[in-house]
């Protein structure tokens, strides 16, 4: 029987994977701890591991897994920037992922972030509960007719574009591989410089690669329209957080809403409410009234979790049969 060691497993992972596993009958060991050099030993006896966005799968960890007989890594997410693909190939470890599970789930979260940030509903909620009905500080802009710039118009970028088209926004896009679906929606592909300069709202939907790391840096922020809002539901390191803090302090950037953070590995998916958080950059961010942060929950809908579990276990079944697997990322 195929034995899978799952890392960073939360109660909801177990729930959705147990349901999907009824069809496969794999033996799944659920470990709450994140995968790293110390915890890799928990994969002892497993044929493969199932990992998530903040697990470490660098060359050292992969070598430790391979030494224990691990033959595959099944990522239960779309991004795989945390996996050293070359090392995996060298060690003979197959890597599979879930390329698309409800892109609308992430797109809808980007919308939730924007509407909250723009109309300050998070602040209004608290005020009203305190009996404070003042409107000062809650002023937003009408999104209809505003320009939204999308960096990355793949599955999630396109789903986001559809939503903003519905709001009556003008759409600008930047992508190496322009999509006809985006232009059919009325979107216009422009240079990054034009996108930054003309957009009232900028939303990031490209993967994290060497090319895209810190694509929003001090220079990009200086190019942006004063007062523009920046959304990031993709990967934290697309943004140079320190440069963003400077732009917020200078009152140039109008607001920031993020579901991802470059140093999220040591914070997200855990309860730190009783801890002193050592990350001063993160702590500075939360002090701004025009910054909204969620802890990587863009994917977190029932439909997406069911799809992730189905596809992940389907990928494992495919590898076990020795059949070609379309979701391999190491080919
Ligand atoms: P996708 O692969 O369908 O689309 C990514 C697009 O970015 C592609 O069209 C690609 O050509 C484009 N791109 C690549 N490099 C670029 C560059 N330098 N400049 C501009 N565009 C570039 O991926 P998908 O499914 O839309 O996901 C996007 C990202 O969203 C993922 O890489 C992942 O990091 C993130 N994500 C976040 C989740 C969350 O819960 N917050 C959940 C799922 C994904």
160 and 309 housed in the same domain: no
Per-residue model confidence as pLDDT tens digits over 143-193:
999 999 999 999 999 999 999 999 999 999 999 999 999 999 999 999 999
Per-residue model confidence as pLDDT tens digits over 186-208:
999 999 999 999 999 999 999 99
Query: Which amino acid residue places its CA nearest to atom 37 of ligand 1?
Result: 234
Q: Look at residue 330 and tell me if it is in a domain.
A: no
Q: Look at residue 329 and tell me if it is in a domain.
A: no
197 and 235 housed in the same domain: yes
Q: Look at residue 56 and tell me if it is in a domain.
A: yes
The two tokens of residue 69 are 């007989």
Domain count, the chain: 2
Per-residue model confidence as pLDDT tens digits over 282-301:
999 999 999 999 999 999 99
Measure CA of the first residue to CA of the last residue in the chain; give whole Å. Answer: 26
Q: Annotate 311-323 with b (16+ C-beta within 10 A) or e (fewer).
A: bbbbbbebbeeee
pLDDT at 330: 75
Which positions ≥6 away from 204 have C-beta within 8 Å?
151, 152, 215, 216, 230, 231, 232, 233, 234, 238, 239
* Cα(202)–Cα(66) distance, integer angstroms: 42
Ligand 1 centroid distance, CA of 302 (Å): 21
Q: Look at residue 84 and tell me if it is in a domain.
A: yes
11 and 81 housed in the same domain: yes
140 and 286 housed in the same domain: yes
The pTM is what?
0.93
Q: Annotate 37-50 with b (16+ C-beta within 10 A) or e (fewer).
A: eebbebbeebbbbb
Ligand 1 centroid distance, CA of 107 (Å): 11
267 and 122 housed in the same domain: yes
Ligand 1 centroid distance, CA of 164 (Å): 17
- In ligand 1, the atom with minimum distance to the C-alpha of 300 is 40
147 and 247 housed in the same domain: yes
- In ligand 1, the atom with minimum distance to the C-alpha of 209 is 15
Percent of the chain exceeding pLDDT 90 equals 97
pLDDT at 165: 98
pLDDT at 101: 86
- In ligand 1, the atom with minimum distance to the C-alpha of 207 is 32
Per-residue model confidence as pLDDT tens digits over 95-125:
999 998 899 999 999 999 999 999 999 999 9
72 and 186 housed in the same domain: no
119 and 162 housed in the same domain: yes
Domain extent, residue 164, equals 103-293
Q: Is the minimum distance from the CB of 34 to ligand 1 under 6 angstroms?
A: no
pLDDT at 100: 87
Q: Look at residue 331 and tell me if it is in a domain.
A: no
CATH number for the domain spanning 183: value is 3.40.50.720
Q: Look at residue 327 and tell me if it is in a domain.
A: no
Ligand 1 centroid distance, CA of 273 (Å): 31
């Amino acid at each position: 029987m195929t034995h899978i060691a799952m890392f960073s497993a939360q109660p909801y992972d177990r729930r959705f994977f147990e349901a999907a596993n009824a069809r496969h009958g794999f033996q799944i060991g659920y470990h709450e701890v994140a995968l790293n050099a110390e915890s890799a030993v928990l994969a002892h006896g497993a044929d493969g591991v199932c990992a998530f966005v903040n697990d470490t799968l660098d060359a050292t960890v992969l070598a430790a897994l391979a030494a224990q007989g691990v033959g595959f890594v099944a990522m239960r997410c779309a991004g795989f920037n945390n996996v050293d693909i070359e090392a995996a190939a060298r060690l003979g470890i197959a890597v599979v992922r879930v390329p698309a599970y409800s892109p609308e789930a992430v797109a809808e979260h980007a919308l939730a972030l924007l509407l909250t940030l723009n109309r300050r509903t998070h602040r209004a909620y608290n005020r009203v509960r305190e009996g404070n009905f003042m409107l000062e500080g809650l002023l937003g802009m009408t999104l209809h007719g505003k320009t939204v710039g999308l960096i990355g118009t793949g599955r999630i970028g396109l789903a986001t574009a559809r939503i903003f088209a519905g709001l009556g926004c003008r759409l600008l896009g930047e992508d190496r591989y322009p999509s006809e679906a985006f232009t059919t929606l009325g979107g216009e592909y422009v240079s990054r410089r034009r996108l930054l300069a003309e957009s009232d709202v900028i939303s990031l939907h490209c993967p994290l690669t060497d090319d895209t790391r810190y694509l929003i840096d001090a220079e990009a922020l200086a190019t942006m329209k004063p007062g523009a809002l920046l959304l990031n539901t993709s990967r934290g390191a697309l943004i140079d957080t320190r440069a963003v803090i400077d732009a917020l302090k200078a009152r140039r950037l109008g607001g920031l809403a993020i579901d991802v953070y470059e140093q999220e590995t040591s914070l997200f998916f855990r309860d730190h409410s009783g801890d002193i958080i050592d990350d001063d950059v993160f702590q500075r961010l939360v002090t701004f009234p025009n910054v909204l942060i969620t802890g990587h929950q863009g994917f977190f809908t029932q439909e997406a979790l069911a799809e992730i579990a189905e596809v992940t276990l389907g990928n494992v079944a495919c590898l076990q049969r020795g059949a070609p697997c379309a979701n391999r990322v190491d080919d």
